[in-house]
Amino acid sequence: MRKLDSGQTVSFSIHQVAELDGIDLAGITAHYDSLERKMLDGFFAHVGGHRGMKYLHWNMRDINYGFAAIEHRYRVLGGEPVFIIPDENKFDLARLLIDIYGVGYTGHPRLTTLLDKNKIQPRDFLNGASEAEAFEQGNFVGLHQSTLRKVDVIANLAGRAQDRSLKTNTTWWEMHGGRMRAFVNFAAESRTFQLIAGTASIVGLVITFQPALPASVWAVVSGVFASDP
């Protein structure tokens, strides 16, 4: 967990718990369940001590890969969460980026291709297959480093999206919803367009009332717009 304002990060890992218990890396597998239970004790104690916080995540939406998976595993190990993060406090950055830029904003897998597009160095970053391999090999330190890097990456991408510096495959036209929506947005934001529209409104008003105006007045008005476009 990384605080977006300060960058301070709190992490929970098997090998850290093992170190505190005096168990070396080679002995983690033999004590895995008890170490995992202690790790999740710490996780849920931290979450319970920071109620009301909002969590930005990447695709952590279901029992296979998400907050529900962590809660389920904790119960399997005999624990019971003292506090569960409300759904309204969870924000999926993966879905938010689709909402902003459209489904084609980057290739698949989206996270890694987005890193390439924005030239963010994926140091210590492991994809799903590599993480599974690291777990099978007992490389718990590597898994921890990858997790730390991923939370850093999520914060980085969120910051770039917020300040509109994130590079994607989406064009300005596509991002603004196509012809009509783009035109409406442009009209609302463009001072030049607003000036032209205002001038056109005045001309239209003059033309509408032209028959009731004296010929001399109409000539003056026409001359103004003709000489000063």
The DSSP bridge partners found for residue 9 are 2
Q: Is residue 9 part of a domain?
A: no
Q: Verify that 145 and 88 share a domain, yes or no.
A: yes
Q: Is residue 114 part of a domain?
A: yes
Q: Is residue 218 part of a domain?
A: yes
Q: Is residue 107 part of a domain?
A: yes
Q: Verify that 204 and 101 share a domain, yes or no.
A: no
Among 136, 152, 174, the domain-final residue is 174
Per-residue pLDDT of the chain (229 residues; tens, 9 = 90+): 999 989 999 999 999 999 999 999 999 999 999 999 999 999 999 999 999 999 999 999 999 989 999 999 999 999 999 999 999 999 999 999 999 999 999 999 999 999 999 999 878 999 888 989 999 999 999 999 999 999 999 999 999 999 999 999 998 777 766 545 555 665 666 666 566 555 555 544 444 444 444 444 443 433 333 334 3
Q: What is the pLDDT of residue 225?
A: 35
Structural domain of residue 199, as residue ranges? 175-227
Among 159, 174, 189, the domain-final residue is 174
> Which residue shows structure tokens 């007045």?
217
Among 174, 196, 218, the domain-final residue is 174
Indicate the helix (H) or strand (E) that contains 95.
helix 93-101
Model's pTM, two decimal places?
0.74
Q: How many domains does the chain have?
A: 2
Q: Is residue 80 part of a domain?
A: yes
Q: What is the pLDDT of residue 199?
A: 57
Contact 142, 134 (CB under 8 A): yes
Residue 112 CA to residue 133 CA, distance in Å, equals 18
Q: Is residue 3 part of a domain?
A: no
Q: What is the pLDDT of residue 178?
A: 56
Q: Is residue 8 part of a domain?
A: no
Q: Verify that 82 and 191 share a domain, yes or no.
A: no
Q: Is residue 7 part of a domain?
A: no
Peptide bond between residue 81 and the one before it cis (omega within 30 degrees of 0): no
Q: Verify that 159 and 179 share a domain, yes or no.
A: no
Which tokens hold the place of 65? 């890969």
Q: What is the pLDDT of residue 198?
A: 56
Which tokens hold the place of 179? 């012809």
Residue 91 CA to residue 57 CA, distance in Å, equals 6
